[in-house]
Amino acid sequence: MTVWLVGAGPGDPELLTVRGADVLRRAEVVIHDRLAAASLLDLAPASAERIDVGKAPGGPVQQETINALLVEHGAAGRRVVRLKGGDPFVFGRGGEEALALEAAGIDFEVVPGISSAIAVPAYAGVPVTHRGLATSFTVVTGHSRHAVDRETNWEALAAAGGTIVVLMGVAHRGEIARRLVAGGLAPSTPVVAVRWGSRPEQRSTRTDLAGLEAADLEPPSTIVIGAVAGLDLRWFERRPLLGRRVVVTRAREQASALSGRLRALGAEPIEIPTIRIGPAADGGARLAVAAEALGRGEYAWVCLTSANGVDALFGYLRDARSLGATGVAVVGPGTADALARRGVVADLVPARSVAEGLLEAFPDPDPAPAGRAVLVAQAAAARPVLAEGLARRGWQVDTVEAYRSEPAPLSPGALAEAATADAICFTSASTVTSYLAALRAAAGSGAACATVPPVVASIGPVTSEAARQAGLVVTVEAANHDLDGLVGALTEVLRRP
């Protein structure tokens, strides 16, 4: 199999099918549309070639060109994903692409997607069928004048009853309304037009056939006509952060957890990783030695200050059994969750999710020499507060660099996009310093000056202090210093009325 024709769904990346995600992860070439959610491209391997053939207004890519690309890469034996908005075979010209592949003798597979014809009305709270109102629905295109004037019998559709779903019909909505009224539908027939359905930008406009032409609509919009359009079972547009754009500065490997929480509330996360996680300066040699000592029971406690520290340490442990009777202390719930995913329940999680909080909650050492050793595995640039405080309490402390946070390169374009967002989330002091350093570098290179979004959200006091020292005004700080606390605090500030 060399070519997959994949339906990406109407816009919400979480509506991609399991099969679609599977083939994307194995793709060598992704030929994608404008309407496919951009974040879906991240599912493909970094090495995969990405070719944008989006048919944007003013610069369309001819279908023949797209067919030729599919044939070219398919004939070369590459694993090709043709990523299309909605469903490939519902006004997606997937049939034309399949015919071109078949004519060239290239194997292909169709991976159906959720069509905007049913998903967008659902996201607007409009069922396309409803007992007592509509027992059928028709999907029709209003894209071209020829389709409106000659290919579609609008009068017959009006007489047939049920729900009419018009895709790509904004430009010809006046003529469509007139033809349907001429066919017998009442001018008062309810209509709802949904722009960018299932995306954070979704907006619904409610009118009737008489007012459809004058309604302020823009493509891409899905137009639903019929009695069901009078129902208002909205749920998506009630999400508190709908349409808000929030910059996520976490490392790429960790961004999805925060982005997912924001997306569930209706926000559009803009992932701009300001840091990347790398191995310790010694390549992990000291951590490997410490892990062996853990397995021999030489430490009474191990302290982990981040999820990255958990991952780094467990890279050198056989499994959870290596911890034996060693107590495990963590700074906060996020680190505890990372530990739990490894099958270990933290013995100590302080009420305050900072090093000072862990130090306050930490027990005094056992008088016996075997009960006085503590391993602190942390980032290279971590504050020495915990290690120094434990040493003053009488503990024998081994501080080991588990990983390094390094600045990630940020393009002026990414920074300019971030500046247009409603808010930015900082989850560590290193994300603050790296982001601001990138801003200074961009300004020094003569690039257009980008600014920090108006709302600055911090995950906790250490991050907030780093932001303030850098001259930022912290709008909100999470009461509970984890991702849920951060999102909760941000929601209170950005919540739509």
DSSP per-residue letters across 54-105: ---TTSPPPHHHHHHHHHHHHHTT--EEEEESB-TTSSS-HHHHHHHHHHTT
- Asked if 310 contacts 335 with a C-beta cutoff of 8 angstroms, the reply is yes
Catalytic pick among 42, 52, 55, 337: 55
* CA 7 to mean position of chain CA atoms: 18
- DSSP for 125-148 reads T--S-BTTTBS-EEEEE--SHHII
* Cα→Cα distances 224→15, 228, 299, 325, Å: 21, 8, 66, 64
What would the pLDDT profile of 56-110 be if each residue is shown by its tens digit? 555 678 999 999 999 999 999 999 999 999 999 999 899 999 999 999 999 999 9
- Phi first, then psi: what are they for 13, rounded to 5°? -60, -20
84 is catalytic: no
Catalytic pick among 168, 398, 422, 482: 168
55 is catalytic: yes
* CA–CA dist 190, 232 (Å, integer): 11
By residue count, the chain amounts to 497
- Asked if 282 contacts 401 with a C-beta cutoff of 8 angstroms, the reply is yes
- Largest pairwise CA distance in the chain: 94
What pTM value is reported for the model? Answer: 0.82
Token pair 């959870």 is found at 320
Pairing outcome for strands 245-248 and 327-330: unpaired
The half-sphere exposure of 403 on its side-chain side, counting CA atoms within 13 A, is: 19
Nearest to 53 by CA among 43, 66, 72: 66
Helices and strands of the chain, counted as H and E runs: 17, 20
- Asked if 106 contacts 75 with a C-beta cutoff of 8 angstroms, the reply is yes
- Asked if 491 contacts 483 with a C-beta cutoff of 8 angstroms, the reply is no
* CA–CA dist 175, 231 (Å, integer): 25
Nearest to 134 by CA among 229, 232, 235, 233: 229
* CA 371 to mean position of chain CA atoms: 45
The type of residue at 254 is: Q
Listed in sequence order, the residues at least 6 apart from 90 whose beta carbon sits closer than 8 Å to its beta carbon are: 115, 117, 139
Give me the sheet containing 455-458, strands edge to edge.
268-271, 245-248, 423-426, 455-458, 476-477
Determine if residue 63 is left, alpha or beta; phi over 0 gives left, psi from -120 to 50 gives alpha, anything else beta: alpha
Ranges under pLDDT 70 in the chain:
1, 35-36, 55-59, 146-147, 369-371, 444-450
* Cα→Cα distances 442→317, 328, 432, 446, Å: 42, 43, 16, 7
Angle between helices 461-469 and 429-444 (to 10 degrees): 20
Nearest to 138 by CA among 153, 150, 123: 153
Token pair 């159906």 is found at 112
| Count of C-beta atoms within a 10 Å radius of residue 59 | 7
| Count of C-beta atoms within a 10 Å radius of residue 12 | 19
Point out which residues pair with 245 in neighbouring strands: 268
Dihedral of CA atoms 480, 485, 488, 494 in degrees, nearest 10, equals 100
Catalytic pick among 33, 311, 398, 482: 33
Task: For each of the domains in the chain, give its residue range(s) and CATH number, in order of start.
Answer: 3-114 (3.40.1010.10), 118-238 (3.30.950.10), 245-274+408-494 (3.40.50.10090), 281-406 (3.40.50.10090)
- Asked if 240 contacts 262 with a C-beta cutoff of 8 angstroms, the reply is no
| Count of C-beta atoms within a 10 Å radius of residue 147 | 15
pLDDT of residue 42: 87
Nearest to 219 by CA among 259, 184, 171: 171
